[in-house]
Amino acid sequence: MGLFSKIKSMFQKKEETVEEEIIETEVEEESSDEEEVVVKKEKKVEKKKEEPKNNNVKVYEKGLTKSRQGFVSKLAELTNRYKKVTDEYFDELEEILIMADIGVNTVMEFIDRLRDRVRDEKLDDPEMLKEIIVDELFIIYVNDSVLTSKLTFNENGPTAILFVGVNGVGKTTTIGKIGYQLKNDGKKVLLVAADTFRAGATAQLKEWSEKIDVGFYGKEEGADPASVVYDGLQMAKNENYDVVLIDTAGRLQNKVNLMKELEKMNKVIDGQIEGGATETLLVIDATTGQNGISQAKAFKEITNITGIVLTKLDGTAKGGIVLAIKETVGIPVKYIGLGEAKEDLQVFDIEKYIYGLFKDMM
- Site stretch for ligand GDP (CB under 6 A), options 122-130, 147-155, 169-177, 264-272: 169-177
Q: Smallest Cα–Cα separation from 142: which of 322, 359, 340, 345?
A: 322
How far, in Å, CA of 169 to CA of 175, rounded?
A: 12
Confirm if 318 and 325 have CB atoms less than 8 A apart: no
CA 110, chain centre distance (Å): 22
Q: Tell me how crowded residue 88 is: count the other CB atoms within 10 A of its CB.
A: 11
**Helix (H, G, I), strand (E, B), or coil: what is residue 319?**
coil
Cα dihedral 239, 244, 245, 250 in deg (nearest 10): 110
Compute the least distance from the CB of residue 99 to ligand GDP, in Å: 21
Which C-beta is closer to ligand GDP: that of 93 or that of 286?
A: 286
Judged by beta carbon distances under 5 to 8 A according to partner kind, the member of ligand GDP, Mg ion, none in contact with residue 320 is: none
**Where would I find the beta strands (DSSP E) of the chain?**
159-164, 189-194, 215-218, 243-248, 279-285, 307-311, 333-337, 345-347
Return the number of the residue (247 or 279) whose C-beta is nearest Mg ion: 247
Question: Cβ of residue 164: shortest distance to Mg ion, in angstroms?
Answer: 11
- Which segment (65-73, 105-113, 126-134, 197-205) binds Mg ion by CB under 5 A? 197-205
How many residues touch Mg ion under the rule CB under 5 A: the total is 3
165 near ligand GDP, judged by CB under 6 A: yes
Among 8, 48, 171, 334, binds ligand GDP (CB under 6 A): 171
Question: Which strand (E) or helix (H) includes residue 251?
Answer: none
Number of residues that bind ligand GDP (CB under 6 A): 18
Handedness of CA 126, 129, 131, 133 (dihedral sign): negative
Q: Which does 334 bind (CB under 5 to 8 A by kind): ligand GDP, Mg ion, none?
A: none
Residue 285 β-bridge partners: 311
CA-CA distance, 116 to 109, in Å (whole number)? 11
For residue 83, give the 3-state DSSP assignment.
Answer: coil
Contacting ligand GDP (CB under 6 A), which of 67, 173, 266, 278? 173
Q: Which of residues 172-191 bind Mg ion (CB under 5 A)?
A: 172
Is the separation of the CB atoms in 79 and 130 below 8 Å? yes
67 forms part of the interface with ligand GDP (CB under 6 A): no
Q: Would you count residue 179 as binding ligand GDP (CB under 6 A)?
A: no
Complex with Mg ion: residue 172 or 306, whichever CB lies closer: 172
- Is 225 a binding residue for ligand GDP by CB under 6 A? The answer is no
Please, which residue, 287 or 328, has the CB nearer to Mg ion? 287
Q: Which stretch binds ligand GDP (CB under 6 A): 52-60, 99-107, 135-143, 307-315?
A: 307-315
Contact residues: ligand GDP, CB under 6 A:
165, 167-173, 283, 311-312, 314-315, 337-340, 344
